[in-house]
Amino acid sequence: MAAATADGLGDGLQVGADGLVRCWWPGSDLLYLAYHDEEWGRPVSDERAMFEMLVLESFQAGLSWLTVLRRREGFRAAFDNFDAEAVAGYGTRDVDRLLGDERIIRNRAKIEATIGNAKAVLRLHGEGSSLVTLFGSIVPDPGSAPPAPRRIADVPAATPASRALARELKSRGFRFLGPTVLYAHMQATGMVNDHLVGCAFRA
C-alpha cells in the first residue's frame, strides 16, 4: 500500500480543485492538468504524433516538461507540424530560422538532432517500417508489465525496454534519445501506464 500522507492520500496523489484524485506531477497548472487528464499515458498509433512526442521529449532533456508543453504550439508551427518528410529536408537556413524563433527552445544541437532524427524516420519508412512499429516490436506487451505504481518511488526513470530502445535507435542514427528520455516517451504515449493506483485517470 502507498504510505499515507497528511491529506489521507497515498504518496504521489493529490486532490484537484474539481475533487478528482490525480498523480502529483501536474500540480495545479491548468495546461499540465489537461495534458495529464487527456493525453499522458494514452496509446498513440499515429506516426506524426509519435514523431512529435519524440522530438518534444528530446528537447525536454535538462528542462521541465511544462517548459516544453508551454511551447508546444510554437514547436508545431516551427517544425511544420512535425511532418518528418518536411523536417528531414531542412537545411542551414532552416537551422538559422529555428535558432531565431522565440516560440521554441533554441538549442542548436537539439535542432540539428531533430533534423537528423527526421531523416532516420524516413529511412525507417523506406524499409517498410515506422516508429510505431519499431517501438511496438521492442516494448513488452502490457500484460507482462510490472505491478501498477502505487507511490512516486515505484515509477522508474528508465527500464530494460527503454535501454533496448535507446540502443536500437542509436544504431539507426537517432540522437538525443537516451534511456531516460525514451522512458518518458513510453509513458507519454501509453506504452506503459504509470498513472498511480488511485489516480482517477488510470485506465
Catalogue the active-site residues: 35, 57, 65
Using CA atoms, how far residue 122 sits from 49, 99, 116, 181, 185, in Å, is 15, 24, 10, 21, 20
What cell numbers appear for 186 in the block?
513510453
* Burial class of residue 175, CB neighbours in 10 A (0-12, 13-18, 19+): middle
Q: Residue for cell digits 502490457?
A: 142
Q: How far apart are CA 8 and CA 76, in angstroms?
A: 41
112, 95 contact by CB (below 8 A): yes
* Under 8 Å between Cβ of 51 and 119: no
